[in-house]
Amino acid sequence: MAMTVTPPLRALLDGEPADEDGVRLAITDDGVARGDGAFETVGVWDGRPFRWDDHLDRLDASLAKTLLPPADRAAITADRDRLLDGLTIDGALRCYVTASGTRVLTLSPGPTSPPGQVLMPQPAPWIQPPAEYEPAGAKTMSYGPNMAASRAARRDGGDDALLVASDGTVLEGPTFCVLWVSGGTLCTAPVDRGIVDSISRRTLLELADDLGIPTRVVGVPVPALADASEVLICSAVRDVASIGRIGPHVFDGPTPVRDALSGALDAARRGGRRPAAGAPP
C-alpha cells in the first residue's frame, strides 16, 4: 500500500492560497523542522466532509495532549469552505496545525489504487506507553515510526504493516484502523492501548450496531487472528476492505460483515448521516 500523499488540488496556508507566489511554509517552522504539530485527514464525499466536528474535536484533543493551544476552529472551517467551494468530488481534506501556529489545509483526490491485501506484523513499541504518558493516542505530525513500519512490512513481502504492541497484541495499521470478525462479532483493539481514536473505527462500530452485528473492544494476540473469519481495515478516505493474509495466515472465505458495513458506510458518507454520538469504549 503506497504511502505517498497525492499532490493537492487546492491548498491554503494561514488562509492564503499556497500556489500564489511568496506563499510558502518556512523550513524553520516547527512542523517541518521537528514534526511538531497535529493533523487530521477528513474524507470528502460528493463534496461534503464526513464527521467534520468529530475531526476537529480530535484535532483539539491531539493538540491538548501535546501541550499545544487549541486550533482556531472558525478559521479552519472557513478554509474548508473555500477549498470545497464549487466542488462535488470525493477526496481527502487534510488539516495541519504546527507548533509554530501555522495552519495548512489541502484538498487532494481520493486514493485510486486498491488497498493492500497482505499485512505483515511489525513491532510498535512507541504506541503502548505507560498509562500516565499524556501524548498517548495523539494524532501528531511525527509519523516517522509508522512509515518505517510500512517499509519494513514491504521489505518482508507484505503490502503494509499490522502494528503490534510489545506484549504481542494487535493494535492498528500505520494509517488505518484494524477490525476482525470472531464468532460473528466485530472486534477491535481498545483505544487505551495508545492507538489513535480512529473516527472510521467509531463509525464502523456504530454502523455494526445499527445492522445488528455484535461488537467487542478487546485486546488479542496476533495468533488469535487465525481464528477470525474476516479481518478488515478502513480509513477516512477509503472504503472498508478485507485483508487476504496476515503473515502466513490466509483469509479467503466469504466477507458478509465487510459487505454489509461497506454499503452502510457509503450511505452514511454520501447521505451526510452522522452516526450516534459517543465513542465506543
Tens of pLDDT along 232-242? Answer: 999 999 999 99
**pLDDT at residue 244, as a whole number:** 98
Q: Is residue 272 very low, low, confident or very high in pLDDT (cuts 50, 70, 90)? A: low
Q: Are 44 and 93 in contact (CB under 8 A)?
A: yes
Beta bridge partners of 10: 107
Q: 89 and 135: one domain?
A: no
- Indicate if the pLDDT at residue 149 is higher than 80: yes
CB–CB of 96/30 below 8 Å? no
Task: Identify whether 2 is part of a domain.
Answer: no
- Of residues 56 and 275, the one with the higher pLDDT is 56
Q: What is the mean pLDDT of the chain?
A: 92
57, burial (CB in 10 Å: exposed 0-12, middle 13-18, buried 19+): middle
Confidence tier at 277 by pLDDT (50, 70, 90) = very low
Statement: residue 21 has pLDDT above 60: no
Same-domain pairing of 67 and 150? no
274 in a structural domain: no
Q: Are residues 251 and 136 in the same domain?
A: yes
Q: What percent of the chain has pLDDT over 70?
A: 93
Task: Tell me: do 41 and 121 sit in the same domain.
Answer: no
How many Cβ atoms sit within 10 Å of the Cβ of residue 235?
21
Number of domains in the chain: 2
Mean pLDDT along residues 131-160? 94
The pLDDT tens digits for 198-211 are: 999 999 999 999 99
Q: What average pLDDT score do residues 170-181 get?
A: 98
Indicate if 177 and 261 belong to the same structural domain.
Answer: yes
User: Does the residue 272 lie in any domain?
Assistant: no
Q: Does 281 map to a domain?
A: no
Q: What is the pLDDT of residue 18?
A: 86
Instruction: With a cut of 70, say whether residue 6 has pLDDT above it.
Output: no
Q: Is 51's pLDDT higher than 80? A: yes
Residue 15: give the domain boundaries: 10-109
Cα separation, 186 vs 204, whole angstroms: 9
Least confident span in 19-33, 79-93, 130-144: 19-33
Q: In this structure, are 102 and 122 located in the same domain?
A: no
Would the pLDDT of 275 be above 80?
A: no
C-alpha cell at 198: 480512529
Boundary-marking domain end, from 66, 82, 109: 109
Last-in-domain residue among 109, 130, 150: 109
Task: State the pLDDT at residue 276.
Answer: 46
Taking the CA atoms of 40, 46, 47 and 53 in sequence, report the sign of the dihedral they define: negative
The pLDDT of residue 20 is above 90:
no
Per the domain annotation, does 276 fall within a domain? Answer: no
Mean pLDDT, residues 141-149 taken together: 96
- CA–CA separation, 232 and 177 (whole Å): 8
Whether residue 172 is predicted with pLDDT greater than 50 in this model: the reply is yes
Give me the amino acid identity at 22: G
Residue 273 forms part of a structural domain: no
Domain boundary among 59, 89, 109: 109
Query: What is the model's pLDDT at position 1?
Result: 46
